[in-house]
């Protein structure tokens, strides 16, 4: 086979344009491709939603790659082991209730799980603003290439519409902070010092719709709630992503509720 560079270029450009045009109106826009965002994306896509993960960096995975202090291992407690199993992430019990897994395998398999369920990934893309319409609901996100932000270039952004936005941007709680900055629509209390037990239990209950159309998940949920941080234990991130997907629900269930109301 004789290879032609122009055809390769055309394949990349049309391939990506087709995906982007097909994903301008989403059910779920997950901002941040860390463990909570990936889990949410995989489960929401598995429920039949049209999902895109918008990730600022080149690589998906957020803070999970680095494990604890660059030792590429994560700890997951009993309660979340079923999520490791669901994605085929291998683990072994270190002490009763504490399971250890490879952080690299965990990111790779969560990412594959989300892709297999039909989620798309827009990486190297930064969410820089939100859209709120007359009904007072977040109706979309304002996006730009991360390189534009890094280069401090004056380039206007584009937009993507969504029924649900999930702020899974980690410690920075970027989307929630945007709402706080733009008219005090939300208060971000800021995360507290490390306390694994409290933070891990808190992160699931703090995963909620904090503003119409906006769900916070993972560390962003703790940052908004003024909860502690937990260090390199990741069960709470997986459970929080699962909770976010549960809050979004499934399109079938929504249709069913509508039918019953009629």
Please give the residue ranges that form the binding site for ligand 48H (CB under 6 A): 31-37, 54-57, 62-64, 126-127, 168-170, 172, 174, 194, 218-220, 229-231, 234, 237
Shortest Å distance, C-beta 168 to ligand 48H? 5
Shortest Å distance, C-beta 254 to ligand 48H? 26
The residue among 163 and 229 lying less far from ligand 48H, judged by its C-beta, is 229
User: Is the Cβ–Cβ distance between 240 and 216 less than 8 Å?
Assistant: no
Among 118, 91, 119, smallest CA distance to 235 is for 91
The residue among 14 and 16 lying less far from ligand 48H, judged by its C-beta, is 16
Shortest Å distance, C-beta 118 to ligand 48H? 20
CA 172 to chain centre: 13
Sheet harboring 73-77: ordered strands across? 73-77, 98-102, 92-95
Shortest Å distance, C-beta 68 to ligand 48H? 9
Shortest Å distance, C-beta 239 to ligand 48H? 11
Helices marked H in the chain = 5-22, 35-46, 81-86, 103-116, 146-150, 174-181, 196-205, 219-225, 235-248, 251-261
The residue among 11 and 194 lying less far from ligand 48H, judged by its C-beta, is 194
The residue among 135 and 185 lying less far from ligand 48H, judged by its C-beta, is 185
The residue among 103 and 139 lying less far from ligand 48H, judged by its C-beta, is 103
The residue among 132 and 260 lying less far from ligand 48H, judged by its C-beta, is 132
Shortest Å distance, C-beta 95 to ligand 48H? 19
Rounded to 10°, the helix 35-46/235-248 angle is 40
DSSP state of 154: -
Among 161, 123, 121, 225, smallest CA distance to 28 is for 161
Name the token pair of 141: 């996100």
């Amino acid at each position: 086979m004789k290879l032609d560079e122009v055809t390769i270029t055309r394949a990349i450009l049309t391939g990506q344009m087709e995906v982007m045009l097909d994903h301008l109106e989403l059910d779920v826009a997950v901002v941040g491709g860390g463990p909570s965002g990936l889990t949410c994306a995989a489960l929401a896509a598995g429920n039949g939603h049209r999902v895109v993960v918008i990730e600022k960096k080149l690589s998906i995975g957020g803070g999970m790659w680095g494990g604890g202090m660059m030792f590429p291992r994560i700890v997951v407690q009993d309660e979340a082991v079923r999520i490791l199993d669901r994605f085929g992430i291998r683990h072994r019990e270190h002490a009763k209730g504490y399971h250890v897994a490879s952080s690299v395998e965990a990111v790779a398999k969560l990412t594959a799980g989300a892709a297999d369920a039909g989620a798309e990934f827009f990486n190297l893309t930064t969410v820089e603003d939100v859209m709120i319409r007359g009904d007072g609901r977040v109706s979309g996100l304002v996006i730009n290439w991360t390189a534009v932000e890094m280069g401090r270039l004056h380039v206007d952004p584009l937009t993507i519409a969504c029924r649900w936005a999930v702020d899974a941007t980690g410690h920075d709680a970027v989307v929630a902070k945007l709402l706080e900055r733009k008219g005090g629509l939300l208060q971000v209390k800021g995360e507290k010092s490390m306390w694994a037990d409290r933070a891990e239990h808190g992160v699931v209950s703090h995963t909620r719709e904090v503003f119409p159309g906006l769900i916070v998940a993972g560390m962003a949920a703790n940052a908004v709630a003024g909860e502690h941080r937990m260090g390199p234990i990741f069960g709470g991130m997986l459970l929080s992503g699962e909770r976010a997907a549960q809050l979004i629900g499934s399109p079938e269930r929504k249709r069913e509720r509508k039918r019953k109301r009629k």
